[in-house]
Amino acid sequence: CDLKICDFGLARGFGNDEEDPTLTDYVVTRWYRAPEVVLLASEYTKSIDVWSVGCILCELIGRRPIFTGKDHLDQIKKIFQVIGTPTEDDLEWLPARSPARSFIKKATVCAKQPWKTVYPQATPIGIHAIERMLTFNPLKRANVEETLQLAYYETLHMPDDEPRADSPIDWKFDKFTPTKRLLQNKIYAEC
């Protein structure tokens, strides 16, 4: 069984040795954005992808998207209504005097909804997978390797059949500022 989730429409490069990664808040379709993307815009890690996969898992189990915010503020509110308002420990990754931290401190306090109540049809290992992937604090969220090791994916995880890129993608093309003449030259070079 192969599962491929792909939508590079809002993708950004994230190489290991990239000195100046161009990170923006315009990544990931809003309903699948991790809190750090919504709150900090340009300060995030690969853990945003784990959050997105957690949202997809919730959608597969519940048959509808879990966090359907109308804008970025509503998106955070929808997240808090399910996972609860973050504790001080959950905020360790946010700069002490950041506007994001101030916003969270002023937000209406929401209690965490038990995942078993949100998804009564989910198995205990499914609930555990959701909890590990939809952890507010990106430093405590499961990384990709940990996610693949979760019991929920045990029958799907085949380490010897999981290709990895030999090297990171060269995203220089994304920084290309086209002019009419440069675009013509690129087209001619392809022909």
Measure the CA dihedral 100/131/64/35, to 10°.
10
Handedness of CA 85, 86, 88, 94 (dihedral sign): negative
pLDDT higher at 38 or 76: 76
Mean pLDDT (the chain) is: 84
Topology at the third CATH level for domain 8-164: Transferase(Phosphotransferase); domain 1 (1.10.510)
Q: Mind listing the pLDDT tens digit for each residue in 9-37? A: 555 555 555 444 554 445 567 888 899 98
Instruction: Output the pLDDT for position 18.
Output: 46
Confidence of residue 38 (pLDDT cuts 50, 70, 90): confident
Q: What is the pTM of this model?
A: 0.76
Instruction: Output the pLDDT for position 3.
Output: 62
Q: Mind listing the pLDDT tens digit for each residue in 45-82? A: 888 889 999 999 999 999 999 999 999 899 999 999 99
Instruction: Give the whole-angstrom CA distance, residue 80 versus residue 67.
Output: 10
Instruction: Output the pLDDT for position 9.
Output: 52
Instruction: Give the whole-angstrom CA distance, residue 14 versus residue 22.
Output: 8
Q: Give the mean model confidence (pLDDT) for residues 84-98.
A: 90
Instruction: Output the pLDDT for position 12.
Output: 54
pLDDT higher at 65 or 191: 65
